[in-house]
Amino acid sequence: MASLLRIDSSPRGNASVSRRLGDTYTDGWKAAHSGSTVTTRDLAFQQPTYVDIQWIQSVYTPPDQQTDAHKAALKLSDEIIAEVEAADTILITSPLYNFSIPAVLKAWIDHLVRAGRTFAYVNGAPQGKVHGKKAVIILAKGGDYSESSPMHALDNATPYLRTILGFLGITDVTFLDAGGVSMYPHKGQTEEQFLEPLQQKARELVTA
Ligand SMILES: Cc1cc2nc3c(=O)[nH]c(=O)nc-3n(C[C@H](O)[C@H](O)[C@H](O)COP(=O)(O)O)c2cc1C
């Protein structure tokens, strides 16, 4: 049975472009995979904790020596990793914030990227331990960061997400660039006119 893990990170609820495009993708994915499961983790409304000294000490304590306190410090990380491991497809919806990802999404990544669990170094080379996944990333951006734009190099979110997922072994990653959210009203476009072609792309990504 197919399973989709959906990670949302915008705090803007129904006004969020990344969430609305995520809804389009999720609806299409459900229609294409009957009897499948969708698990959602909403980082904006269920904010992850940050990595702290207890977390670091616990990660570097061998499992057979971990105390209850160590295990408690890794509980959220265990849950986040289990959700990713159980999914065939991982959908991440995110705004571009200050040319990067929102802090809540970075906090989720910090729980997911765990030495010995989701990656290891073998003879000095990094080896991802998460395989057989497809990732779809929907990134809403105020400006235009397409390849022909002078802003292109300032989008750090796209290369970062590709790098960190690839580091874990998730190399089948597709981006939906929802750029220009702040610009379409100045071009005389309605919200529907702006969203429609992006929703069409989100639907196409289900079978891509
Ligand atoms: C705190 C904050 C930082 C932002 N930083 C950027 C930015 O660096 N570049 C950009 O193009 N848009 C930026 N924006 C605009 C958002 O990317 C844009 O509104 C996007 O639609 C937000 O995603 P959402 O609609 O899913 O909430 C920022 C918005 C906020 C609230």
Expressed as residue numbers, the domain containing 67 is 3-207
pLDDT of residue 111: 98
Pick the residue whose CA is nearest to atom 29 on ligand 1: 97
* Number of independent structural domains in the chain: 1
Look up the CATH number of the domain holding residue 119.
3.40.50.360
pLDDT of residue 183: 95
pLDDT of residue 158: 98
pLDDT of residue 42: 98
* DSSP run (H or E) holding 178: strand 172-179
Pick the residue whose CA is nearest to atom 2 on ligand 1: 97
Pick the residue whose CA is nearest to atom 18 on ligand 1: 142
Q: Which ligand 1 atom is at minimum distance from the Cα of 94?
A: 26
Pick the residue whose CA is nearest to atom 3 on ligand 1: 97
Q: Is the CB of 74 under 6 A from ligand 1?
A: no
Q: Is the CB of 195 under 6 A from ligand 1?
A: no
pLDDT of residue 131: 97
CA dist 169 → 71, 91, 131 (Å): 25, 16, 5
- Please state the pTM of the whole predicted model: 0.97
Q: Is the CB of 180 under 6 A from ligand 1?
A: no
pLDDT of residue 1: 85
Instruction: With CA atoms as reference, report the closest residue to 136 among 32, 47, 57, 66.
Output: 32
Gap from CA of 138 to ligand 1 centroid (Å): 13
Q: Is 61 strand, coil or helix?
A: coil
Q: Is the CB of 143 under 6 A from ligand 1?
A: yes
Q: Is the CB of 17 under 6 A from ligand 1?
A: yes
d(CA 94, CA 158): 11
d(CA 17, CA 12): 9
Gap from CA of 122 to ligand 1 centroid (Å): 39
Answer whether 93's CB lies under 8 Å from 11's CB. no
Pick the residue whose CA is nearest to atom 24 on ligand 1: 16
Q: Which residues of the chain have pLDDT under 50?
A: none
